[in-house]
Amino acid sequence: MAEEEGITAKKKDFSEWYNQAVFAAGILDKRYDVKGLNVWMNYGYEIMLNLKNFWDLLFREHGIKEMYFPLLVPEKYCEQNPSWWEGFKDQAYWVKSSDEDKASHILRPTGEPAMYPMFSTWIRSHRDLPFRIYETVSSFRYETKHTRPLIRDREITLWHEIHTAHASSEEAEKEASLHQKLYDIIWRKCALLPLKVVKPEWEIFPGAVGAVEYYNYMPSGKVMENGSINNLGQAYSKKFNIKFRDKDKKEKYAWQLCTGNGARLLAAVIGVHGDDKGLVLPPEIAPVQVVIVPIYNNKTKSKVVGKAQQLKAKLPFRVEVDDRDEFTPGWKFNYWEMKGVPVRIELGEREIAGKTITVARRDTGKKEKIAEKLLEDRIKKLLGSMQNDLLENSKKQLEVAVHTAKNKKEISSLAGNGKIAKVHWCGSEKCWGGIKDIEEGIELFGTDLKKSGKGKCVLCGKATDTVGYVANTY
């Protein structure tokens, strides 16, 4: 078992540590024999389902309705949007039946080509708007870049996409603000603070209004894109003929949004919070919040395990009792630390006799003895503190990573050394592109939503109050 062997130190080689942590903790199994495709093990899947169930509730609460579209997309749907198709064609998985000579369908790489021809059927009148739906589904891309579990997979599993259509650009803007709020809530669930940036027009779909994207600063020193809210304007509705008769009897193209994210949320949780012992899971999404490791010998087993089961039944958390005879308590401690379980209870005869329980917290490693009658209250507080502390820790990691750079040399020494350079930037495509030439692999990946104080573009020297972020990206 991989769990016994320990994993590479996180600081020594983040990439190696990440791969080992993912597989050793029972998130995925990479031995499925197709490159870029992994099996979700039960433990990993449960974490993602906790997240999925949460976004299901959240979207439902806000009136966004769940649907499901087929995975096979006819080529002709793709062709309705030639510039999009041009970009995705090379990454397409083509599908054909035994009957066919030539494949005329692909596996969905994104939602638009499957969804929007139907939108055009459903949306006729202003009364059909706003139209607000989502689905959680796999997307497929034949990635030519290096694949990485949860970060760059060829089957992108548990991916949600919200698609909305509106009768006015104002309404679409309002919806976009709502999506930002929803994502803030999801980020808190993950105990993560991402960097939220705006993409310039040449980085988004031609004709679209704008895009907000989220990035996590990973301990590798690179930033990872993690979810986006795309204000498509009328760019897609014009391609897919999504028109409605408005109150003024005029035919208009709908204003659209598309917002999505998925298993990279878990990749960020693992990367940002994990340590040399393995995962550290935010209590709110941990499938097991408390593990009880009973410490016993043949004579005391029934008493100690019985007590452990009793505690499990009483505690209103997700509790597991590890009473496997074949492993020692020490081995079990490592095993559950690897899996990132927030709280561990060590329970032996002495604890039972003394009516005090030893409790260890995963993130700090601190142990304390708690009177049995106070156990529930204390664990509740521990779980709450750990959720908060992890979020604070994520904020701190980001703060420490971001530094202002005033010139190319400073950009190079920051972004080239695993930090994020914050720079004044004139807003031009030329200077955006020019950043890439400073050093291999780095790029300006977005601008801050807020205007900053006055400054000069780090490349051309023009006066500007726009600030952007430069880093190495995944």
Summarize as ranges the residues that interact with a copy of itself (CB under 8 A). 29, 31-34, 37-42, 45-46, 49, 65-72, 74, 76-77, 89-99, 103, 105, 107, 114, 117-118, 121-122, 127, 133, 138, 142, 155, 157-158, 326
Contact of 421 with 398, CB cutoff 8 Å? no
H helix or E strand, kind and range, residue 57: helix 42-61
Q: Cβ of residue 150: shortest distance to a copy of itself, in angstroms?
A: 13
Give the three-state DSSP class for 177: helix
CB atoms within 10 A of CB 60: 12
C-beta separation of 105 from 73 below 8 A = yes
Neighbours of 257 (CB within 10 A): 25
Q: Report d(CA 416, CA 424) in Å as an integer.
A: 18
Instruction: Label each residue of 301-357 as H, E or C.
Output: HHHHHHHHHHHHHHCCCCEEECCCCCCCHHHHHHHHHHCCCCEEEEECHHHHHHCEE
Tokens of 355: 């009516």
* The pair of three-digit structure tokens given for residue 442, joined into one six-digit string: 């780095």
Element (H, E) at 196: strand 195-199
Residues in the chain: 474
Decide whether 324 or 350 has the Cβ nearer to a copy of itself: 324
CB 371 → a copy of itself: shortest distance, Å?
Answer: 33
Kind of pairing between the strands at 131-140 and 155-166: antiparallel
CB-nearer residue toward a copy of itself: 267 or 382:
267
Shortest reach from residue 95's CB to a copy of itself, in Å: 5
CB of 420 to a copy of itself, least distance (A): 34
Q: What is the DSSP string of 152-189?
A: B-SEEEEEEEEEEEESSHHHHHHHHHHHHHHHHHHHHH
Rounded least distance, CB 40 to a copy of itself, Å = 4
Determine the Cα–Cα distance for residues 258 and 107; give it in Å rounded to an integer: 19
CB of 263 to a copy of itself, least distance (A): 11
Least distance to a copy of itself from the beta carbon of 83, Å?
A: 18
Q: Specify the residue, 66 or 399, whose C-beta has the smaller distance to a copy of itself.
A: 66
